[in-house]
Amino acid sequence: MANVLEPVVFRADLLSDVQGFDYGTEPWEKELAQWMQAESIEAMVHGTKVWLYLNQTGDCVGYSSLGVAQWSYPTKKSPRMPVLVIPAVAIRTEFKGEPKGDWATDPSVDGRYSSQIMRHLLDSASQWPGPMPAVGLFVDPRNTPAIKLYERFGFAKYDPPYTDKATGIVYDRYAIRRASCW
């Protein structure tokens, strides 16, 4: 991999540096821009970790986050318990599908920025303290590129879907057993 991303722990004083980043024009891409601009700091106050990713020329390629939430797991009838959750992960529009030529079907060696970010998230999840059994996330079912990425990394669709009470948007829920993390 010629262009390896460097994760940088996000801090509140970096917020102005990421204002105005374009993650795309689809509704879910706009939500990811909104999350970074309006919700990331509050999430960090509640224990969520947030990272920016810099390429070798120092450009910020995107961000990711990892925190804890209560889910009924491993089935929807299970009692609620803490699981790791990826609240938001995004790549800036100009870096999607990059770097060219570093693609592989094996996610453990794929050089695309999206795969590098997912490997970092799953590595971080494997080091998170506590007995949380899974890593979960929510995804807009129209966001097929993200779903393909998550499935390549072993995430599987998990019922029930989640409906955001404020917006009415229904999100698919995906999870991977924590022991399966990288």
Residues contacting residue 12 through CB under 8 Å, at least 6 positions apart? 41, 44
Task: Per residue of the chain (182 residues), give pLDDT as tens.
Answer: 458 999 999 999 999 989 889 999 999 999 999 999 999 999 999 999 999 999 999 999 999 999 999 999 888 899 999 999 999 999 999 999 888 776 777 777 888 899 999 999 999 999 999 888 999 999 999 999 999 999 999 999 988 899 989 889 999 999 998 875 54
**Domain 6-180: CATH class, spelled out:** alpha beta
What's the pTM value of the predicted model, to 2 decimals?
A: 0.92
The domain spans of the chain are: 6-180
At 52 the three-state DSSP class reads strand
**What letter represents residue 125's amino acid?**
A
